[in-house]
Structure 1
Amino acid sequence: MRVSLLLSAALLPLASTAQAAEEDTAGTRPENEAPIVVTAARTALPVTALPLTAEVIDRATLDRQVQISGSVVDAIAALTPSFSPARQKLSGQGETLRGRSPLFAIDGIPQTAPLRDGSRDGFTIDPFFVDRVELILGSNALQGIGGTGGVINQVTVSAPVEDGWSVRTILQGTAESGFRSDGFGGKAGALVANRSGAFDVVAGAAYERRGVFRDGEQRRIAPDGTQGDLQDSDSLSFFAKAGVELGGGVRLEAMGQRFHLQGEGDLVAVAGSRALGRPATAVKGVVPGEAPENLAESLSLTLTAEDLAGGALRVRGFWNRTADIYGGGTFADFQDPAIAPVGTLFDQSQNISRKWGVNASWERGFGPLNLVLGADLLNDHTVQKLAATDRAWVPPTDYRSIAPFAQGNLALWDGKVRLAGGVRWENVEITIPDYRTLWFYGPQQVGGGSPSFERLLPNGGIVVEPSPGIRAYASYSQGYTVPDVGRITRAIRTPGVDLDRFLDIAPVVADNREIGVEVNRGPVNASATYYWSDSDRGQLLVLVGDVFEVQRQRIEIEGIELNLSTATPIPGLRLGIGYAHLDGRVDTNGDGRVNADLDGANIGPDRLNLSADYTNGPVNLRVQSRTHYSKRFDGGDPRNDFGGYTLLDGAVSLSTDVGTFTLAGQNLLDKQYIDYNSDTQRPTDSLRFFAGRGRSVTLGWLGRF
């Protein structure tokens, strides 16, 4: 398989684009366009100097995609073939990048909780406050813990470059096909910014009301009563950023943001029939307990000095808190005969995570050598409680990481060849007190401890750029993360476990190799990438009873990504194509050799994206399709095989002196389908048999003054 994929990558270098989201819709890139710098890469070098695959979704592209689908996660899923299909739920459980979990960040602040992944890290900021989204694909340790699938960094908006005031507003309304009253939604927001000499500030708020979602046959889509849902919910967000130039290239900047989303709690799921292909639906009713909600808050203070000892210093201190409430039920895991008869005890969980840290780096050029030195510090405290009975499902757990790193990039022959490499030393300590598991798991008395883990993580690669706009690269890097410690520790069933010697909580180390070719010349923007990664003790989600648990097994993944964006002889028309193939295997019997396919909870299907952009003066039209190919899972339950589907989206916008008016539609053909996550799991559960969203239409106005 590897040989055939490698040959495909070698023979089709003109059939892809690593920078597909940064295309110029007029047809060509200006010759003097500034090179793209990805801040998540921790260097001021352009991405073309780095041996990795990166994508940047700029503001215009992001605005359009969000008006089509409503979220950053959906935008990424629509534009990036190697990202798994979005669930259209509040939970991102099972959404992967190149078959592994990505690290979500806001201005480099990690949103992913390292100890108990609540799977809501894609919904921690309103997209109205995001200037662009940076994606680094593949396992790496650039941002520390969590990037085994890559990094998704949401860069927030800034004040204008020139002195004066500016205002940015959004007004939009959304309706489902059929225009029923309960399906209407809307959004309103405003950002006010000012720059006055050395001072600048930007602040804003956004409110969004989401209506009921319906499938292609006009049935209400069942809510995910446990993990939480986007439909029938309200969100209120605040954002502020202020900076001051202290002179001599020194700048101090503070940022704060708060995102709160809560469901209405008045939709009750009604079971469908998997045997008949009839999805679960919903009726109006009263949901017991609190409705699922998501609260995320971030604060940061950043100091930059452009000329310190001949180099540039960047130090960021940050604090982040997430509090997630999940839907309740009389689940088997929650039962305890000491509290209530088995089968009658209602409860619901709440995941609370608080983290703080410091990211510091210093970058300087020494002739042809660019050197980056730095260190990251991260502390996290997480607990998952059962709110109704005040029991700890996941015991209070503390995480501490210290990671110094060094990265070099050597330009040879006028930059036509670059050698890049570096090391990062991760030193992790996890502290868990003695605790007792819930009755369902024994109960078991577990001995706490403070296990620590050290790892030197290398990376290296070569970039060859024989001519401007043409480059090839090869690289090796290691990604490093802790597994979902909370899922593991709460589900211990073996008596006498001592966490100081419990290998199941040892970190996941993923080895990533990558070969790529890119062409960005004139009207053509293309690339081909082949990669393969493996982890001896990977993290696999396995459904046990009502909940997913983590199993540590060997995992091997390989894939190919092909993209092409090019102008056409028709003025203003640009076409795009993107394809991703993923093959993931797992060792299910512990003999060290993979013997079965990764299932739909752990890897996405093959994808084909097609797009057409047409620009004529102030008018822009985009049509895009997403094909998710059918998939069989060797070694799995055949009832979980995926049937595949194709969706068509579109948007037309008109730019005026008072802003941009957009009419956007998702699933324009009103395709009836079962979403990927639901179709490939729980073959006997007809209550969580979710259809995908049918046609929705959004009319929006983005004003700039």
Structure 2
Amino acid sequence: MKKIILIMTILMCQLLLAYGQNVKIEGYIKDKSSGIPYATILLPGQKTQADSKGYYTMYIKSGVPFSVQLTAVGYKTFVQQFSSVQADTVINFILEPVPNTLDDVLISTSRKPENVKNVTASVTIVNKQKLEKELAIVPDLSTILANQVPGFAPTAQTGNNVGQNLRGRPMLVMIDGVSQSSPLRNAEVDLRSIDPSVLERIEVVKGATAIYGNGAAGGLVNYITMVPDTAARFAGKTQLNLNGSLVKVKNSEGGRISQMFYGKLGKFDYVVSGMYEQTGEYKDAKGDVVGPNYSLGETDTYNAFAKFGYVPAKNQRIQLSYNTYSSLQNSNFTLVNGNLATGQKATGVLGKPLGIPTGVDYNHNLNLSYKIDSTFLHSSLHADVYYETRKDVFYVSLGRFDGGDGQSLAKNDKRGARLFLETPILNLNSLKMNLAYGADFMKDKTAQPLVDGRVWVPTMDMTNIAPFAQADFNILGKLVFKTGLRYENVNIAVDDYRTLRTTGANNSTITPSFDVTGGNLKYSTYLFNAGLRYNQFNLFSPFVSFSQGFSVMDIGLALRDAKVNSIDKINTDAVKVNNYEAGFESKVAGLTFSASGYISTSKLGIEVVYDPATGLFNTARNPEKIYGFELAADYHLFDQLGLSASYSYTEGKRDIDKNGKFNDAVDMYLNGRRISAPKVTASVTYSPLKVLDLTLNYTGINSRNRFEKNSNGVYNGNEGAVKAYHLFSFAGIYQVKKNTRLTLGIDNIFNQDYFPARAQWFMQPGFYSKGRGTSVNFGISVSY
């Protein structure tokens, strides 16, 4: 009591001096038991967010009346008026939870925002806070997704994401819903399409998804870009990072700088960002240069991003966004192949590499959208048009084309329009029903020529039209039922072309050069989905779902390896996937636990298998069955300490004799390109001070051995045995001042000497490279 009287006396004495000056208000936003993480605090002219423990701090003018508005997912909006504050003050708030809500972000699995509790499929959300911790270690999206998403295949730490899929199936990679992938010629570089620092979150939907159609047989990864998080007219953030190897520092130093400006001007808002990164040499645990094929070492990366929004009325928004991304490897090393039989790793020696720099030459995205929340029949409408074009450059294939070297590149040009509407049909206390419907239209032109101009894969011109409808039922606020239908209509036009002669040892012909008659490939099918979720109890919230996915096969791969003289004689049938899944989520006290199991079947597959006789990869079209399960847990012991862990297991087989069974002697396991080894992740987050966050991460890849060695004593390509390895990383974030933050990231803390999973199963001498040894990333960011 005496302490309170003393504080009050001091405040009264300083009243006149403080009037009109900036003063600080700070405190905690809580519910009845603990702090509410990442609640949004809105004051006149400014907006901020509480930290992971619910602590916030803001500055206001003293002596001036003001109002505070607080919002958090799962809690009722709180508004309070204050007459004035004369000096630095502590104000704590208590929010009231909304019944039957989960304190998680909204996602868009059904093409519209919805709460996680209403989703009838497995999803993972990598939010802004998780992104920032991962970025403190390494700014590579393929690594971030592998660490954060159960069911996501492990990273190879390269610019190419071959074999990095979702649950053994191809996935659709998108930026704000615009596809970065092309099913016509899967270049497998789409994960690296944007600077992760401009993302608000990443939404991952696992399993075939009918609502997005072509290309999403395994699910989707949607990069959601940020919107201004302030009401100020002008704000900004500058970030600088320095990184390098701790094993052998020389020539490994690299840096990254990014600048962002954002704000709101009346009905307008904007975000503008630019980033440049240059990496040094990547060193393995022995201090040797990592093999340069697609390595992220010695890479120059650029990204420019802009988003402009206009709100003509309270229920409308017009938005224009543009993103351009480039990431090219400018290495000073030529490749030294590894030796698969002896275990000798691939590395590099000083010298100018053959060909032009590999990687993403350019990736441009332009998107114009219009949203209105309430129009005829209280419907909401979202329409957008988009354009995406990219060029990706591959490595040089030695002696493959007409007895000489060849370097290919993939060109993709995509444009389209989407219309999405949602109309409430019933709005009763006991039953609510919404109907979502619309159509997607896309033109996709893809080709894979050689750098010297020769045609390897001719231009494929795809027109894809897909109307869809989805009905959502919410019964008594406890039972959610969803069902929908999508119709895919695809036409792919291919001109006449001439195959390239490919060669093997002693210039022997593997595939001859001959003329192939083009034409039109047509596909049409219906995709159905249905799901059910019961939300009566937080202790046990189960769901079941069935969803069909569709993807045209890798047409370009089939065309370039044609053995016949007309495309209508090539097996280019599309893949239709049936995905069955069941799971649940439990929340009790500070523990959240989820589990799911799935089975994915298809009458045709797209298995890339290696032919030892020719040294080429071909496509097998057998029926496939993939199955597995995922477990994830998150536990907050108290405000300062949090634990999380996950386990992912996937298996798959091919029905070689096509008798509907997958356990016959002739049936085969799917190879490593499709099925990843079991994965374990864990993390410990500790905040000893409100300005300090420390995180220790663990990623473990278990062993997988499904195939026999060939007559040469080595495994065939894509069939190599994976030996287990264990990686630890650390991220520390220290808030020096209100606007200044320091970060320290250490990757592979214990300098594990290992081959990444892809290097082991791929079994290609040029890609048999070790993983990166211990590396450090130090950063500073200033907000204003």
Fold match (TM-score > 0.5): yes
Report if the CA contact (8 A) 1:474-1:516 is conserved: yes
Alignment of 1:122-161 (within 5 A): 122-161=191-230
For 1:400, the equivalent position in structure 2 comes to 463
For 2:269, the equivalent position in structure 1 comes to 200
Q: CA deviation at 1:484?
A: 0.9
**Aligned residues, how many?**
666
Does 2:724 align with 1:644?
yes
For 1:292, the equivalent position in structure 2 comes to 358
Query: 1:382-428, CA deviations, whole angstroms, 9 ceiling, x for partnerless residues?
Result: 1111122x21100111011111100111111x221111100000011
Which SS does the other structure have where 1:348 is aligned? strand
**Structure 1 pair 161–408 and aligned structure 2 pair: CA distance change class (3 A):** farther
**Structure 1 pair 393–478 and aligned structure 2 pair: CA distance change class (3 A):** same
Report if the CA contact (8 A) 1:597-1:635 is conserved: no
For 2:698, the equivalent position in structure 1 comes to 625
Specify which of 738, 742, 748 is matched with residue 657 of structure 1: 738
For 1:696, the equivalent position in structure 2 comes to 775
Distance, in Å, in 2 between the alignment partners of 1:588 and 1:668 is 44
Specify which of 239, 250, 254 is matched with residue 170 of structure 1: 239
Distance, in Å, in 1 between the alignment partners of 2:359 and 2:232 is 40
Distance, in Å, in 2 between the alignment partners of 1:135 and 1:498 is 35
Report if the CA contact (8 A) 1:29-1:522 is conserved: no
Specify which of 313, 337, 355 is matched with residue 247 of structure 1: 313
Report if the CA contact (8 A) 2:634-2:645 is conserved: yes
Q: CA deviation at 1:248?
A: 5.0
Alignment of 1:299-698 (within 5 A): 299-309=366-376, 310-332=378-400, 334-335=401-402, 342=403, 345-366=404-425, 367=427, 368-388=432-452, 390-412=453-475, 414-440=476-502, 441-468=511-538, 470-494=540-564, 496-499=565-568, 502=570, 504-544=571-611, 545=614, 547-568=616-637, 571-594=639-662, 595-616=667-688, 617-634=690-707, 639=715, 640-655=720-735, 656-682=737-763, 685-698=764-777
Report if the CA contact (8 A) 1:443-1:493 is conserved: no
Of structures 1 and 2, the one scoring higher in RCO (CA 8 A, sep 6+) is 1
Report if the CA contact (8 A) 2:732-2:745 is conserved: yes
**Which amino acid in structure 2 is aligned with residue 666 of structure 1?**
D
The worse-fitting range, judged by mean Cα deviation, of 289-298 and 626-635 is: 626-635
**Structure 1 pair 165–217 and aligned structure 2 pair: CA distance change class (3 A):** same
Q: Which runs of 5+ in 1 are unaligned?
A: 1-20, 336-341
Query: 1:142-165, CA deviations, whole angstroms, 9 ceiling, x for partnerless residues?
Result: 222211111100011112352421
For 2:143, the equivalent position in structure 1 comes to 74
Q: CA deviation at 1:645?
A: 0.6
Distance, in Å, in 2 between the alignment partners of 1:135 and 1:547 is 33
Alignment RMSD (CA, Å):
2.2
TM, length-normalised to structure 1? 0.91
Q: CA deviation at 1:462?
A: 0.9
Percent identity between the two aligned chains: 25
Q: Which has the larger radius of gyration?
A: 2
Report if the CA contact (8 A) 1:74-1:88 is conserved: yes
Does 2:302 align with 1:222?
no
Q: CA deviation at 1:468?
A: 4.4
Distance, in Å, in 1 between the alignment partners of 2:439 and 2:709 is 43
Query: 1:518-540, CA deviations, whole angstroms, 9 ceiling, x for partnerless residues?
Result: 02343111101011101111111
Distance, in Å, in 1 between the alignment partners of 2:136 and 2:622 is 40
Which SS does the other structure have where 1:128 is aligned? helix
Distance, in Å, in 1 between the alignment partners of 2:358 and 2:682 is 36
**Which amino acid in structure 2 is aligned with residue 141 of structure 1?**
A
Q: CA deviation at 1:364?
A: 2.3
The worse-fitting range, judged by mean Cα deviation, of 424-433 and 158-167 is: 158-167
The worse-fitting range, judged by mean Cα deviation, of 31-40 and 67-76 is: 31-40
**Which amino acid in structure 1 is aligned with residue 440 of structure 2?**
D
Does 2:111 align with 1:45?
no
Q: CA deviation at 1:593?
A: 3.8
Report if the CA contact (8 A) 1:66-1:74 is conserved: no
Distance, in Å, in 2 between the alignment partners of 1:202 and 1:469 is 41
Query: 1:574-626, CA deviations, whole angstroms, 9 ceiling, x for partnerless residues?
Result: 11110011111113455554311111111111011111111231111111111
Distance, in Å, in 1 between the alignment partners of 2:420 and 2:723 is 48
Query: 1:613-668, CA deviations, whole angstroms, 9 ceiling, x for partnerless residues?
Result: 11231111111111111111146767421111111111111123123211111110
For 2:43, the equivalent position in structure 1 comes to none
**Which amino acid in structure 1 is aligned with residue 238 of structure 2?**
T
Query: 1:311-341, CA deviations, whole angstroms, 9 ceiling, x for partnerless residues?
Result: 1100111100010112224332x21xxxxxx
Report if the CA contact (8 A) 1:554-1:593 is conserved: no
Which SS does the other structure have where 2:374 is aligned? strand
For 1:5, the equivalent position in structure 2 comes to none
